[in-house]
């Protein structure tokens, strides 16, 4: 059956993306949308989660119309789908946690004085984490404490028993429930290893147990790997504070050397930002005929350097190829996660150099400049020199930078939010909680996750955010959903006009937009901390009592499975726009979307329509408010 290619307008609501898609089409450059449409029909077994290739008896698949259908080993649809889900959750946890481990290792070496380019920037947070870790800081220098904090964080990954230290942040009630359910993680790496073991041939076939363990490994991410990544990145580079910048492809410059940093880890990108101001680099750039070096980010690397340095964001996940299509990018420097293997082939149509930097993510047909923490600044300069040298190859006839760029205020960490509500001496969540209780703020919703060709880019995320604030719901954004909101002009004080009167009054008093940019994917841990603060300040006694919800209407990454899982384990409603690949397993589906609510208080709901998703969330929050008697 032939399928008409979709128009760029129907693929995205973002004007800049639309223009670049049209440019790509006219220049015969294939993008993710073209490849998605070329697939035409995606595997109907895969999409339902009812196929398995975990052993060489298979691959096997289940006949969805035959209840007695089994794989060769006897696995049914429930076993196959739940195993697939647990493996994905473990992979998501591994991604965030490996990121967190790298940050911890860098902090360790920096504190030992072995990395001349890195220094502890946020000593206040260092001391706070040292206290939480039970480290005796008496008479010790900042670096000595840094070593102890880093070593303790590293032990959180490596230990097999003992439980995660950050879990002590939670109210006892939730921890007790998790203990009863057997989903309290021991150590980060051991949980990932056990998850892979559990899903091996001949292991667990009980879909309930397998799903509950997918929650467990996800908790190891939220309260382990991701939280360590967030907290230790703050120690190394500073806890974010409100900062102004710009977002969308219009941040690229006609007359500067454009370098895009893309991926997730800030370790190299922070150095690239610093090196771009280096006298030698600036002079080289001028000598090459440009006005200097312009750094901008894609995906969560963008969020990391936006939050701390105010570096502009060029775009979210589905814009990585489109940024190259502008013809104005001298180099795209990639680290880990969310990097499309297609980048070198798109770049081959222009002059852009794709530079991979992580030994964990070598990209075929890219230039590889290995990142080593010991010579980070030098590496950053080497990369910038490649980009500068490439400026002469820019073909002016191929350059078309869309004019779209939008102001943004980012940098809302949990600490900042607390500070904004009371200043240095009276920092507190009390005003937020009081305004939730008095109804000026109806509830709080986290909109997180990616962009996905299966749905119109940015539409669901942006529409949901707008609908929620209209109904006095405070919105916290992370990841590519945050970039979507920013592009739509929702992260500036003017967005207050779109908020309901109660929310507007509170935001004006606090001095923040009604939609907050809280950071990257690992920074969803900041939302966990913020929810914990609400409870500590007298809003309910456990997370499932809170008038909150999560939404990931455009998700695509396994990391989003893990994030959704840990919020459901926490007791939150999580609305997703793209269903999990479990729909061929009716019992598992019922467990995830219905029965789990009676177990953890949270559940998943599928709703791609942002208006209906909003209604669902508002009803959920109303029910929670009623139960709380507010």
Residues near ligand MSK, by CB under 6 A: 264, 299-300, 316-317, 338, 449-450, 479-480, 520-521, 557, 559
Nearer to ligand MSK, 32 or 77 (CB): 32
Report residue 418 CA to chain centroid gap: 22
What span, in angstroms and rounded, lies between the C-alpha atoms of 6 and 319? 17
Give, in order, the Cα–Cα distances in Å from 202 to each of 75, 83, 208.
Answer: 9, 11, 16
Look at residues 306, 308, 363 and name the one whose alpha carbon lies nearest to residue 335.
363
Task: Report in angstroms how near the CB of residue 318 gets to ligand MSK at its nearest.
Answer: 8
Long-range contacts (CB closer than 8 Å, 24 or more residues apart) made by 390-397: 390/257, 390/330, 390/331, 390/351, 390/352, 390/353, 391/257, 391/285, 391/288, 391/289, 391/290, 391/330, 392/288, 392/289, 393/351, 394/327, 394/328, 394/330, 394/351, 395/327, 395/350, 395/351
3-state DSSP assignment of residue 67: coil
Task: Report in angstroms how near the CB of residue 470 gets to ligand MSK at its nearest.
Answer: 24
Nearer to ligand MSK, 212 or 613 (CB): 613
Task: Report in angstroms how near the CB of residue 499 gets to ligand MSK at its nearest.
Answer: 24
What span, in angstroms and rounded, lies between the C-alpha atoms of 616 and 630? 19
Nearer to ligand MSK, 170 or 249 (CB): 249
Bridge partners of 517? 477
- Residue 207 DSSP symbol: H
Task: Report in angstroms how near the CB of residue 94 gets to ligand MSK at its nearest.
Answer: 13
Task: Report in angstroms how near the CB of residue 337 gets to ligand MSK at its nearest.
Answer: 6
What span, in angstroms and rounded, lies between the C-alpha atoms of 177 and 219? 13
Task: Report in angstroms how near the CB of residue 312 gets to ligand MSK at its nearest.
Answer: 16
Nearer to ligand MSK, 320 or 414 (CB): 320
What span, in angstroms and rounded, lies between the C-alpha atoms of 237 and 121? 5
Asked if residue 208 lies in contact with residue 591, where contact means CB atoms within 8 angstroms, the answer is: yes
Task: Report in angstroms how near the CB of residue 485 gets to ligand MSK at its nearest.
Answer: 12
Task: Report in angstroms how near the CB of residue 92 gets to ligand MSK at its nearest.
Answer: 9
Nearer to ligand MSK, 49 or 92 (CB): 92
Nearer to ligand MSK, 170 or 268 (CB): 268
Nearer to ligand MSK, 224 or 449 (CB): 449
Beta strands 313-315 and 293-298: pairing type? parallel
**Tokens matching residue 38:** 């070329």
Nearer to ligand MSK, 429 or 566 (CB): 566
């Amino acid at each position: 059956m032939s399928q008409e290619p979709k128009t760029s307008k129907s693929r995205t609501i973002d004007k800049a993306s639309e223009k670049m898609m049209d440019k790509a089409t006219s220049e015969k450059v294939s993008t993710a949308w073209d490849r998605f449409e070329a697939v035409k029909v995606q595997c109907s077994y895969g999409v339902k989660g009812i196929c398995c290739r975990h052993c060489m008896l298979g691959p096997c698949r289940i006949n969805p119309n035959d209840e007695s259908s089994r794989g060769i080993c006897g696995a049914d649809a429930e076993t196959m789908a739940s195993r697939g889900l647990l493996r994905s959750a473990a992979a998501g946890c591994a991604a965030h946690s490996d990121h967190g481990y790298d940050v911890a290792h860098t902090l360790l070496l920096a504190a030992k004085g072995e990395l001349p380019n890195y220094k502890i920037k946020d000593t206040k947070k260092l001391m706070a984490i040292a206290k939480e870790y039970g480290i005796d800081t008496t008479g010790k220098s900042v670096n000595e404490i840094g070593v102890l904090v880093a070593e303790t964080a590293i032990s959180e990954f490596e230990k097999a028993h003992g439980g995660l230290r950050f879990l002590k942040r939670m109210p006892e009630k939730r921890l007790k429930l998790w203990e009863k359910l057997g989903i309290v993680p021991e150590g980060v790496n051991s949980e990932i290893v056990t998850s892979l073991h559990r899903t091996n041939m001949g292991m667990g076939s009980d879909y309930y147990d397998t799903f509950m363990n997918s929650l467990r490994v996800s908790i190891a991410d939220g309260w382990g790997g991701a939280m360590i990544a967030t907290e230790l990145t703050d120690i190394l580079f500073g806890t974010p504070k409100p900062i102004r910048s710009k977002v969308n492809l219009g941040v690229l410059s006609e007359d500067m050397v454009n370098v895009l940093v893309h991926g997730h880890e800030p370790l190299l990108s922070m150095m690239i930002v610093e090196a771009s101001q280096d006298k030698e680099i600036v002079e080289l750039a001028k000598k090459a005929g440009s006005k200097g070096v312009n750094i901008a980010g894609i995906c969560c690397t963008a969020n990391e350097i936006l939050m701390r340095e105010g570096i502009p964001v060029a775009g979210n996940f589905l814009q990585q190829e489109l940024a190259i299509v502008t013809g104005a990018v001298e180099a795209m420097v990639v680290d880990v996660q969310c990097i499309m293997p297609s980048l070198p082939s798109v770049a081959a149509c222009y002059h852009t150099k794709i530079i991979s930097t992580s030994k964990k993510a070598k990209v075929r047909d890219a230039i590889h400049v290995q990142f080593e923490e010991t010579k980070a600044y030098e590496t950053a300069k080497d990369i910038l020199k490649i980009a500068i040298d490439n400026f002469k190859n820019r073909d002016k006839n191929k350059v078309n930078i869309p004019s779209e760029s939008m102001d943004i205020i980012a940098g809302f960490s949990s600490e900042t939010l607390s500070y904004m509500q009371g200043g240095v001496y009276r920092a507190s969540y009390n005003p937020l909680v009081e305004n939730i209780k008095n109804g000026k703020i109806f509830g709080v919703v986290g909109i997180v996750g990616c962009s996905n060709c299966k749905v119109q880019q940015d539409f669901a995320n942006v529409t949901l955010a707008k609908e929620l604030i209209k109904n006095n719901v405070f919105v916290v954004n992370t990841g590519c959903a945050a970039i979507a909101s920013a592009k739509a002009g929702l992260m500036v004080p003017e967005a207050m006009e779109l908020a309901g009167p109660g929310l507007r009054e509170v935001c004006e008093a606090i001095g923040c937009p009604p939609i907050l940019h809280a950071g990257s994917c690992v920074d969803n841990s900041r939302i966990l901390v913020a929810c914990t603060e609400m409870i500590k300040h007298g809003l309910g006694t456990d997370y499932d009592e809170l008038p909150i919800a999560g939404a990931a209407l455009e998700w695509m990454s396994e990391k989003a499975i893990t994030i959704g899982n840990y919020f459901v384990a926490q007791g939150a409603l999580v609305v997703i726009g793209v269903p999990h690949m479990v729909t061929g397993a009716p019992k598992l589906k019922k467990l995830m979307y219905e029965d789990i609510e009676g177990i953890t208080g949270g559940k998943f709901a599928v709703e791609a329509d942002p208006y209906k998703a909003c209604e669902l969330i508002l009803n959920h929050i109303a029910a929670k408010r009623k139960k709380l008697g507010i």
